[in-house]
Amino acid sequence: MDTQKDTKEMNPLVEALFKVGAHFGYNKSRRHPSISPFIFGAKNRVEIFDLESTSESLVVAKQVLFNLGKEGKQILFVAGKNEAKEAVTIGASAIAMPYVAGRFIGGTLTNFPEIKKRIEKLIRLEAEKQAGELNRYTKKERLLIDREIARLTKDFGGIVSMKQLPAAIVVIDPKREYNVIREAKILRIPIIALLNSDCNLKEVTYAVPGNDSLKSSITFFIDQLVLSYQEGKKNIATTA
């Protein structure tokens, strides 16, 4: 069975998705029932996404990001898997948005006032260190403070710019990032997600079914959303 139609027949977005390997799902035994309408077929026991459907879902997600950019809204990017960390860090930083590229700390959203205190502590300690104000402490005390800064940076360094709850959350692999999905649902924060065939489509607001384990696929997804957000922000400038 052919994995997709001849690339000559593809629209540009479908062709781009094909090139980055977005069409590769998991083994059929891992498929979540909600994903079934997006499966084109299988090859060597690996399920293949219907990239026409994926591209349509991506277009919807891009429009959401465009609108958020146009409104100047804040977005939180979340991805803990190694294949996604770099793409999320670079993509979020390109539009000055907060991100979690690693373990999502429970309560980041539902207990944000407490998390905000920890972020403020990190900012204060870093400022004191830069100003040389830590010199008044003993060597042992400075070592302990440096360790505290390192720990806080690891946990909250990517969300220092998050002064309030985000208007939306972009997630790579919602099955893995179940904590952020749970908290976002409690707070009714829209979720835009790239999800593979083992994920529940109904757990997120705007789902883009595709390969969420391949670095090239993840990077393409993030880049597309970031570009749409940037285009939305440009729209503010041209209409102001």
Band (3; pLDDT cuts 50, 70, 90):
very low
- What is the rounded average pLDDT of the residues 106-134? 93
Summarize pLDDT for 33-69 with one digit per residue, the tens.
Answer: 999 999 999 888 899 999 999 999 999 999 999 999 9
* SS3 sequence of 159-190: HCCCCCCCCEEEEECCCCCHHHHHHHHHHCCC
Handedness of CA 91, 97, 103, 104 (dihedral sign): negative
pLDDT at 156: 96
Count Cβ atoms within 10 A of the Cβ of residue 164 and give its class: 0-12 exposed, 13-18 middle, 19 or more buried. Answer: exposed
| 177-223 residue pLDDT tens | 999 999 999 999 999 999 999 999 999 999 999 999 999 999 999 99
Which domains are assigned to the chain? 53-104+165-239 (3.40.50.10490), 112-159 (1.10.287)
